[in-house]
């Protein structure tokens, strides 16, 4: 397909700040998106984006403008150029800013490829699902107990079969009180996931998970710094008797790093963020790796994008939906994607492309 694709004629980028309806903390009141528009020599147009919650948006845009776009111009307007572009920017880092920037181009090229074929990216890859389960997710460690309970009650009323909450308070007793309160709202049958956002060291994580396990937690997410492979390997050994899976991956950026963690037996749930790993192209490779290793895949954030790709996977995966943080609900899109969440399920999507064009 690459040889027959017209060449990339131009690429435009825009840095957009989108205010959050529910701030993720005192210092995270908006998210940053770099909108990317690719035009090919035949007049076709594709739209993608790079994303970073609070830090680095200007750097991502600069890397696109100064290094990636000049290397992409004149190449085939097809996502198969991803690996060459990754090699081109690898000296600046195998992942992180480089892969986040690459995602904007990759998504735009997938959008363009699907539009050229007159179909959605989901159907271009190959649809296997029309609906998937969703878990309600909250950036809520700063919420009062009453606010947290009220959020859990909203999720139950909305039909969610699983929810995720933050832990990692300086005082473990506070975490235990909050987890117990949420479990009481959920009852015994809904899945309760907890996310420490890299706040613990190894011994603290061990003590915390041993205590939290009494409340039937479905996984512990990012208990340690994301790049501490040795720590994760040791923690997995310590937690094995408890049967609490370790989840991580939102801050791993390449298939090679995911493979390192899986080879070490450090993770039971992998959570690639489609933007942070570099787009659709590497996400599909990471999903295949998870499948080969028999671990659970749970895409991180961005349900309007994650669901479209999860529909193509053989297995059923849970989609994360942070309360009131969808691009459409924040008024950030030209038109809604058609991806909807109701009764604890995600369904729908665009007729053509990815449908993610920012206003």
Burial class (CB in 10 A: 0-12, 13-18, 19+), 247: buried
Residues in the chain: 359
- How many Å separate Cα 321 from the centre of its chain? 10
Determine the Cα–Cα distance for residues 273 and 294; give it in Å rounded to an integer.
Answer: 19
Does residue 308 contact residue 354 with C-beta atoms inside 8 Å? yes
Determine the Cα–Cα distance for residues 247 and 163; give it in Å rounded to an integer.
Answer: 14
Longest distance between any two alpha carbons in the chain, whole Å: 62
How many Cβ atoms from other residues are within 10 Å of residue 104's Cβ? 31
Q: Which of 319, 266, 256 is nearest to 289 (CA)?
A: 256
- How many Å separate Cα 358 from the centre of its chain? 18
User: DSSP letter string over 254-296?
Assistant: SHHHHHHHHHTT--SEE---TTTTTSHHHHHHHHHHHHHHT-E
What positions carry a catalytic annotation? 166, 300
Determine the Cα–Cα distance for residues 270 and 262; give it in Å rounded to an integer.
Answer: 9
Does residue 111 contact residue 124 with C-beta atoms inside 8 Å? no
Which residues neighbour 35 within 8 Å (Cβ) at sequence distance 6 or greater?
13, 14, 16, 47, 48, 49, 104, 357, 358
Helices (H), 45-130: 57-63, 69-72, 82-89, 97-117, 121-125
């Amino acid at each position: 397909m690459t040889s027959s694709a017209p060449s990339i004629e131009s690429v435009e980028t825009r840095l957009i700040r989108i205010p959050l309806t529910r701030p993720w903390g005192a210092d995270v009141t908006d998210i940053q998106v770099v909108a990317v528009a690719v035009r090919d020599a035949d007049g076709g147009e594709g739209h993608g984006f790079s994303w970073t919650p609070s830090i680095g948006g200007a750097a991502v845009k600069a890397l696109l403008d100064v290094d990636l776009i000049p290397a992409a111009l004149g190449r085939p307007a097809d996502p198969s150029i991803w690996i060459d572009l990754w090699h081109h920017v690898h000296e600046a880092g195998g992942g992180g800013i480089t892969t986040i920037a690459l995602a904007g181009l990759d998504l735009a090229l997938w959008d363009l490829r699907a539009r050229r074929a007159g179909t959605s990216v989901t159907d271009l890859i190959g649809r296997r699902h029309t609906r998937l389960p969703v878990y309600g997710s909250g950036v809520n460690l700063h919420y009062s107990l009453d606010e947290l309970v009220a959020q859990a009650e909203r999720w139950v009323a909305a039909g969610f079969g699983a929810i995720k909450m933050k832990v990692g308070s300086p005082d473990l007793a506070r975490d235990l009180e909050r987890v117990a309160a949420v479990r009481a709202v959920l009852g015994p049958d809904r899945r309760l996931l907890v996310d420490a956002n890299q706040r613990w060291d190894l011994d603290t994580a061990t003590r915390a998970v041993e205590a939290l396990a009494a409340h039937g937690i479905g996984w512990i997410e990012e208990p340690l710094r994301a790049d501490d492979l040795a720590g994760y390997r040791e923690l997995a050994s310590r937690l094995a008797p408890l049967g609490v899976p370790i989840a991580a991956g939102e801050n791993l950026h390449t298939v090679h790093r995911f493979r390192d963690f899986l080879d070490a037996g450090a993770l039971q749930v992998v959570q690639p963020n489609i933007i942070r790993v570099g787009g659709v192209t590497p996400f599909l490779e990471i999903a295949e790796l998870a499948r080969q290793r028999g671990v659970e895949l749970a895409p991180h954030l961005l349900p309007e994008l994650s669901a479209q790709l999860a529909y193509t996977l053989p297995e059923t995966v849970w989609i994360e939906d942070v309360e009131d943080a969808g691009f459409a609900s924040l008024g950030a899109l030209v038109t809604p994607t058609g991806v909807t969440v109701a009764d604890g399920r995600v369904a729908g999507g665009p007729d053509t492309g990815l449908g993610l064009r920012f206003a």
